[in-house]
């Protein structure tokens, strides 16, 4: 049974040791065993919908049930259904070709569970980013230890009930505790470790994992630009921008972090954004559908960015003048006009309702700006020209590229999710998630004559003189 009390290092080590022993005894769960785990998880999740929505509301201070369902429950259920549907295909060994010198023989790659997988999940999507990696790890046949965020205690209570009911101690252990416990968690000798969070903490996790040569998947964040091409439909751009930026009050790793547009587009785009915000939130931050920031620390951080920009002479505007600039842990969307690169608002991932706007003179200048900075987790391009899409596909390396929309790539069960460089390492979701949590073991089966025996010493025989002339054609 999962522990109800606070964890200590000895508790975690004991839990890890127990799961490791189970993984060694049952090292290759069948497809049916894995599918049953996913079915039970799905059933428990559906049964606990009301409890989860209520818990998320409490942890955030305010978050509409409809938003939590859209952002967390629907994508998780989609991933479970996709994994159940494709599991047997993913598990199927893949046949490989052999060099002529090895024939007659056969070769294949089989996908084995790695063993015990560690998952460190963040607070901003405490259901999706906890259960999403779990689905891939279970599909691959692993046992899992979850370190959940201490900022979501009510959600954690419901998650514990769901996981105990669906999986139990033979498959999973859930760990709760502060940051120091998370640090010790990442020092355990997992067979794979997945971390979702900030780039700075990701470096610490990777350093800790290196102590045990533990392979890692890092889902970080960074600054995901929204590039408005000259041909973009500005009304549609504003609609998609407000959708992706304002869900969860911008507390999303793939939310558009800053806009790049032409000077001629700027004012029109801002007016369209204001119209959309008014339609979404008629009472501004007082609207019942506007999500709170998770805690006062996050609000103070964002206000600090605004104060620093203001002190530097950068204009900052509240785009939600239909209400106060802030109320009860909520902060209105502020646009920051052409901030300089030395400001924190252009160095840190914003993770909230702040929106810098940068201007470019031509698209080449914009692409060069993005290319010279750390590789983003997502790039959002709004354009009506196919050539613009081709340029972004070829020139910008990013975790994902989304054309004429925002955020929707995360909820696609058949697309991998992951960053590159400062925005992450590795991917999960879909078949890529199954591969991440599996070891692809090569298997070569030899029968019949050994052709290579013809090439044994002594090396002065005719066959070797032949090989010296014709080896490059083999």
Q: What is the pLDDT of residues 235-283, one digit of tens each?
A: 999 999 999 999 999 999 999 999 999 999 999 999 999 999 999 999 9
Contact 355, 335 (CB under 8 A): yes
Residue-wise pLDDT tens digits, 163-196: 999 999 999 999 998 889 999 999 999 999 999 9
| pLDDT, mean of residues 336-359 | 97
Sign, CA dihedral 393-404-431-160, equals positive
Sign of CA dihedral 96, 97, 102, 105: positive
Question: Is 293 in contact with 299 (CB distance < 8 Å)?
Answer: yes
Of the two residues 369 and 5, the one the predictor is more confident about is 369
* Cα–Cα distance list, 254 to 133, 190, 392, 394 (Å): 17, 28, 17, 21
DSSP 56: H
- Residue 205, both tokens: 């996790």
Task: Give residue 3's pLDDT.
Answer: 38
Mean pLDDT value across the chain: 94
Mean pLDDT of 55-76: 95
Q: Please give the Cα distance from 119 to 140 (Å, whole number).
A: 14
**pLDDT value, residue 6:** 53
Q: Give the residue-averaged pLDDT of 353-373.
A: 96
* pLDDT higher than 90, residue 33: yes
CATH architecture of 225-418: 3-Layer(aba) Sandwich (3.40)
Mean pLDDT, rounded, for 279-301: 95
pLDDT at 451 over 80: no
Residue 100 binned pLDDT confidence (cut-offs 50, 70, 90): confident
Whether residue 8 is predicted with pLDDT greater than 80 in this model: the reply is no
What the block records as the tokens of 299 is 């609000």
Residue 465 has pLDDT above 70, yes or no: yes
Q: Is 219 a catalytic residue?
A: yes
**Domain 9-220+425-440 maps to which CATH number in 3.40.50.720, 3.40.190.10, 3.90.920.10, 3.40.605.10?**
3.40.605.10
Catalytic residue among 72, 173, 219, 276: 219
Strands (E), 64-137: 94-96, 105-113, 116-120
Specify whether the CB–CB gap between 156 and 184 falls below 8 A: no
Q: What is the pLDDT of residue 474?
A: 77
Mean pLDDT for 289-314 is 96
What six digits make up the tokens of 96? Answer: 């490989």
For the stretch 425-446, pLDDT in tens is 999 999 999 999 999 999 999 8
**What distance in Å separates the CA atoms of residue 147 and residue 172, rounded to the nearest whole number?**
11
What's the average model confidence in pLDDT over 141-146?
98
Q: E-assigned strands of 24-165?
A: 94-96, 105-113, 116-120, 143-147
Catalytic residue among 130, 253, 261, 392: 253
Question: Dihedral angle at the C-alpha atoms of 290, 123, 193, 31, nearest 10 degrees?
Answer: -60
Under 8 Å between Cβ of 95 and 108: yes
Taking the CA atoms of residue 411, residue 123, residue 348 and residue 343 in that order, the dihedral angle to the nearest 10 degrees is: 120
Question: How much is the pTM?
Answer: 0.93
Average pLDDT over residues 387-400: 95
Question: How much of the chain, in percent, has pLDDT values that exceed 70?
Answer: 99
Do you know the residue count of the chain? 474
Confidence grade of residue 5 (pLDDT, cut at 50, 70, 90) = very low
For residue range 188-236, list pLDDT tens digits in order: 999 999 999 999 999 999 999 999 999 999 999 889 999 999 999 999 9
pLDDT at position 95 over 50: yes
Q: Is 139 exposed, middle or buried (0-12, 13-18, 19+ CB in 10 A)?
A: buried
- Residue 320: pLDDT above 70? yes
**Every domain of the chain and the residues it spans:** 9-220+425-440, 225-418
Main-chain dihedrals φ then ψ at residue 228, nearest 5 degrees: -100, 110
Share of the chain above pLDDT 90, in %: 88
Quick: pLDDT tens for 402-431.
999 999 999 899 999 999 999 999 999 999
Q: Is 33 a catalytic residue?
A: no
Q: In what order do the strands lie in the sheet with 192-196?
A: 172-175, 143-147, 116-120, 192-196, 216-219, 424-425
For residues 403 and 396, the answer to whether their CB atoms sit within 8 Å is no
Question: Taking 50 as the threshold, does the pLDDT of residue 32 lie above it?
Answer: yes
What are the strands, taking DSSP E only, across 78-205? 94-96, 105-113, 116-120, 143-147, 172-175, 192-196
Dihedral sign computed on CA atoms, order 167, 172, 176, 178: negative
Nearest to 320 by CA among 272, 281, 268: 281
What stretch of H or E contains 465? Answer: helix 462-470
What is the distance between the alpha carbons of residues 176 and 156, in angstroms, rounded to a whole number? Answer: 8
- In the predicted model, is pLDDT for residue 105 greater than 70? yes
């Amino acid at each position: 049974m999962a522990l109800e009390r606070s964890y200590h290092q000895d508790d975690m080590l004991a839990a890890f040791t127990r799961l490791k022993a189970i993984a060694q005894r049952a090292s290759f769960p069948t497809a049916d065993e894995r599918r049953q785990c996913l079915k039970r998880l799905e059933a428990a999740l559906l049964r606990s919908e009301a409890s989860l929505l209520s818990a998320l509301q409490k942890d955030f201070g305010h978050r509409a049930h409809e938003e939590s369902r859209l952002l967390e429950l629907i994508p998780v259920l989609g991933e479970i259904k996709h994994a159940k549907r494709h599991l047997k295909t993913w598990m199927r060994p893949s046949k490989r070709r052999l060099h002529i010198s090895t024939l007659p023989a056969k070769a294949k790659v089989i996908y084995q569970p790695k063993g015990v997988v560690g998952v460190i999940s963040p607070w901003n999507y405490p259901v999706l980013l906890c259960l999403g990696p779990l689905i891939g790890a279970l599909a691959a046949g692993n046992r899992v230890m979850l370190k959940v965020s201490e900022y979501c205690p009510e959600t954690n209570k419901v998650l514990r009930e769901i996981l105990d009911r669906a999986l139990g101690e033979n498959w999973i252990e859930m760990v709760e505790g502060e940051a120091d416990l998370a640090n010790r968690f990442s020092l355990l000798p997992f067979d794979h470790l997945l971390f979702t969070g900030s780039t700075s903490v990701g470096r610490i996790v990777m350093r800790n994992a290196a102590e045990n040569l533990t392979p890692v998947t890092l889902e970080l964040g960074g600054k995901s630009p929204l590039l408005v091409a000259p041909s973009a439909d500005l009304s549609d751009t504003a609609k998609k921008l407000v959708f992706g930026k304002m869900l969860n009050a911008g507390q999303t790793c793939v939310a558009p972090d800053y806009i790049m547009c032409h000077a001629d587009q700027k004012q029109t785009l801002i007016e369209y954004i204001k119209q959309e915000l008014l339609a979404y939130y008629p009472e501004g931050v007082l609207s019942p559908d506007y999500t709170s920031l998770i805690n006062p620390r996050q609000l103070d951080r964002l206000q600090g960015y605004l104060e620093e920009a203001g002190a530097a002479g950068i204009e900052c505007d509240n785009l939600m003048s239909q209400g106060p600039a802030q109320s009860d842990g909520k902060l209105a969307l502020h646009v920051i006009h052409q901030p300089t690169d030395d400001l924190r608002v252009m160095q840190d991932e914003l993770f909230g309702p702040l929106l810098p706007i940068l201007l470019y003179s031509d698209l080449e200048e914009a692409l060069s700006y993005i290319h010279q900075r750390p590789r983003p987790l997502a790039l959002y391009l709004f354009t009506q020209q196919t050539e613009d899409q081709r340029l972004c596909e070829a020139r910008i390396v990013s975790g994902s590229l989304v054309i004429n929309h925002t955020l929707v790539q995360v909820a696609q069960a058949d697309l991998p999710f992951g960053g590159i460089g400062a925005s992450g390492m590795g991917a999960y979701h879909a078949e890529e998630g199954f591969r991440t949590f599996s070891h692809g073991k090569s298997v070569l089966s030899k029968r019949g004559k050994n052709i290579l025996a013809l090439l044994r010493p002594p090396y002065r025989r005719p066959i070797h003189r032949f090989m010296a002339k014709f080896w490059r054609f083999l």
